[in-house]
Amino acid sequence: MELLEQIAKELESGDDKAVGSLTRSALEQKTEASIILNEGLIAGMQVVGDRFRDHEIFLPDVLLAARAMNAGLALLEPLLAESDTPARGKVVIGTVKGDLHDIGKNLVGIMLNGAGFEVIDLGKDVAPREFVETARETGARVIGMSALLTTTMPSMKEVVSLLKSEGLNGTVRTIVGGAPVTEEYARDIGADAYGFDAANAVERVRELTN
Amino acid sequence: MKHTVDIPVQDVVPHERTVLRAMGVPRDREPGEQVARVLEEARDELRSLARPRGIYAEVSPRDFARIYRGDGDNERPNPLESIFPRADHLALFAVTLGAGVSDRIPDLFGEGRLALGATLDAAASESVELAAERLQRVVAGKARPKGGGAHASGRGAPDARTLRYSPGYCGWNVTGQRALFSTLGPEEVGIRLLPSCLMEPLKSISGVMVTGPVEIHEFENDFPFCSECRTKECRARIQSLRHEAPGIRMPTEGNPNGAA
Ligand code: B1M
């Protein structure tokens, strides 16, 4: 089996040690870092994402695959930074103001990362202005917001309004999600997309950036 | 009067199957070797970090009516408004696993230990439910003294059942947390209410424990807000009342199917 294919397969089975050592071998064979990333790691993660969406595998398997992806990425990142390889696009994510729950947002970040997006994670309790400023400064194309309770959701609307008042609503798109958030709520506040779960969020962000 | 309860940690460690189910893994799926290892590690972390504590206080129907009204944001109609006036006994409660577990989860994510972080998160969510079940047992015991007789005050029929209801569920607006906190004072067991109504530590539950005849707890899930509910847990809870001996279920490590 070709080395890149092997990387993808080991990533799918969540073996971080194998992915690390295969990535090292590929680099020793002078394979370009961006090729290892796209045809090894991201290709493997794409299969993982699809199988997760189709309920063939489940969250623990996805997270083991993500850990394996990170093992490979850690070796590639310094080289990718040098070569300035473009990612699929930058996405700013965070849990909204007043909210401290971040597991859902973290899972969305992991999946977006696995799909090749550069994720700028602002953490939790993020003020509306911080989302907007970060997107402007980094040139991010999407802002992703997560909330746990209905009481913290209104902050999502503030971000959408702020983007509008700053004239950024055409360039920076928004996606919202979290346990109490619904498709209808996303529509009501003028967000560009709603993500039901982490796999769905990746699909929606792909649509927004295409 | 308020009572605080220290809950033994071994009583609130969920079974492996329960954790997997909480992570969306179907019942019949055997975990692979790596997943099983992470599961055991998460349960060990839980055993060493969780400090389950609860607080409860009996309230009169009149006082509860005021607390339940809260900021006046409840959906109308809603099930609890017709349940609690028929109850024999009402007790406000709050329960937590303490800050250790809730703080450890984001730390694990920060360290890149994603699988362990997410598994501990799911295990802790199940665990705090078990802690609430444990506290519910204590409250049910007070509301329905042993021997099947009625409570000294004449309340608590021998076939009475205790169920808990929480702000943020079944039309009780989550802003109801404010009135609940100002009466109960869960700060005593280390739970803080943020202005957004979020409780810190994250792995905490609050609400009211309602004891009364089985039929008072029964309602159809056809309220307008039911269509937006993601859990539909009320069905299983109500069903369990008819199939169980008086009292409540206590899922244990050995009984993965006990959990609601
Ligand atoms: C950027 O784009 C995107 C796209 C997708 C995005 C996204 C961003 N962010 C998230 N997603 C999506 O992808 C992620 C991965 O699949 C998902 O992220 P989540 O974060 O949702 O998913 C987590 C990985 C796992 N899921 C969860 O952790 C939430 C699951 C449910 C069942 C739930 C749980 C487990 C818990 N809870 Co509670 N809890 C519910 C939830 C109902 C439900 N079925 O969703 C919810 C969130 N809880 C609720 C409530 C009310 C409460 N809970 C409470 C407590 C708890 C537990 C401690 C028992 C436990 C853990 C909570 C935690 N997160 O740590 C209380 C609050 C806790 C606090 N600290 O203040 C309490 C207030 C109840 C009480 N009075 O005690 C409800 C909120 C409703 C509201 N009105 O706001 C609720 C929706 C249940 C309901 N009524 O239907 C998706 O939402």
**Which tens digit of pLDDT belongs to each residue from A13-56?**
999 999 999 999 999 999 999 999 999 999 999 999 999 989 99
Q: Is B205 in the pocket of ligand 1 (CB under 6 A)?
A: yes
pLDDT of residue A99: 95
> What tens digit of pLDDT does each residue of B75-102 get?
999 999 999 999 999 999 999 999 999 9
> Is the pLDDT assigned to residue B245 strictly greater than 70?
no
pLDDT of residue B240: 85
Number of H helices, E strands in chain B: 8, 7
Q: Is A146 in the pocket of ligand 1 (CB under 6 A)?
A: yes
Q: What residues in chain B have their Cβ under 8 A from chain A's Cβ atoms?
A: 20, 23-26, 29, 31-32, 34-35, 38-39, 105-106, 109, 112-115, 117-119, 121, 168, 174-175, 194-198, 200, 202, 228, 230
Q: Nearest C-alpha of chain B: how many angstroms from A170? A: 31
Alpha helices in A54-197 (DSSP H): 59-83, 103-114, 128-138, 154-165, 183-189
Most A CBs within 10 Å, among B16, B111, B114, to test the A interface:
B114
| Mean local confidence (pLDDT), B200-228 | 94
pLDDT of residue B259: 37
Rounded to an integer, what distance in angstroms lies between the CA atom of residue A199 and that of residue A179? 15
Number of neighbouring beta carbons within 10 Å of residue A197: 16
Phi–psi pair at A155, nearest 5 degrees: -60, -25
* pLDDT bucket at B246, cuts 50 / 70 / 90: very low
Rounded to an integer, what distance in angstroms lies between the CA atom of residue A4 and that of residue A41? 8
Domain segments of chain A as ranges: 3-83, 90-209
Rounded to an integer, what distance in angstroms lies between the CA atom of residue A179 and that of residue A146? 9
pLDDT of residue B150: 47
A and B: number of Cβ contacts within 8 A: 82
Return all residues near B245 (Cβ < 8 A) that are at least 6 apart. none
Indicate the range of A79-83, A124-128, B121-125 predicted with least confidence: A79-83
Number of neighbouring beta carbons within 10 Å of residue A196: 13
Indicate the range of A113-127, B173-187, B216-230, B237-251 predicted with least confidence: B237-251
> Is the pLDDT assigned to residue A83 strictly greater than 60?
yes
> Is the pLDDT assigned to residue B255 strictly greater than 50?
no
Tell me the CA–centroid distance for residue A179 and ligand 1, in Å. Answer: 5
pLDDT of residue B112: 87
pTM for this structure? Answer: 0.93
Tell me the CA–centroid distance for residue B51 and ligand 1, in Å. Answer: 22
pLDDT of residue A86: 63
Torsion B134-B139-B145-B149 (CA) sign:
negative
A182 interaction partners in chain B (CB closer than 8 Å): 228
**For residue B23, what is the nearest residue in chain A, using CA coordinates?**
A59
CA-closest candidate to residue B203, choices B35, B41, B54 = B54
Q: Nearest C-alpha of chain B: how many angstroms from A181? A: 10
* C-alpha torsion angle, residues B96, B101, B103, B107 (rounded to 10): -160
pLDDT of residue A189: 97
What is the value of ipTM here, to two decimals? Answer: 0.94
Q: Nearest C-alpha of chain A: how many angstroms from B241? A: 27
pLDDT of residue B257: 43
B194 interaction partners in chain A (CB closer than 8 Å): 98, 100
A73 interaction partners in chain B (CB closer than 8 Å): none
Architecture per CATH, domain A90-209, reads as 3-Layer(aba) Sandwich (3.40)
B119 interaction partners in chain A (CB closer than 8 Å): 60, 63
- Arithmetic mean of pLDDT over chain B: 89
Most B CBs within 10 Å, among A11, A13, A103, A183, to test the B interface:
A103
Task: For chain A, give the number of residues.
Answer: 210
| Mean local confidence (pLDDT), A139-167 | 96
* pLDDT bucket at B158, cuts 50 / 70 / 90: low
Phi–psi pair at B168, nearest 5 degrees: 100, -5
Q: Are strands A142-146 and B89-96 parallel, antiparallel or unpaired?
A: unpaired
Percentage above 70 pLDDT, chain B: 88
Which helix (H) or strand (E) covers residue A7, if one does? Answer: helix A3-12
* pLDDT bucket at B230, cuts 50 / 70 / 90: confident
Top mean pLDDT of A80-84, A109-113, B156-160, B189-193 is at B189-193
Number of neighbouring beta carbons within 10 Å of residue B124: 27
* pLDDT bucket at B247, cuts 50 / 70 / 90: very low
CATH 1.10.760.10 fits A3-83, yes or no: no
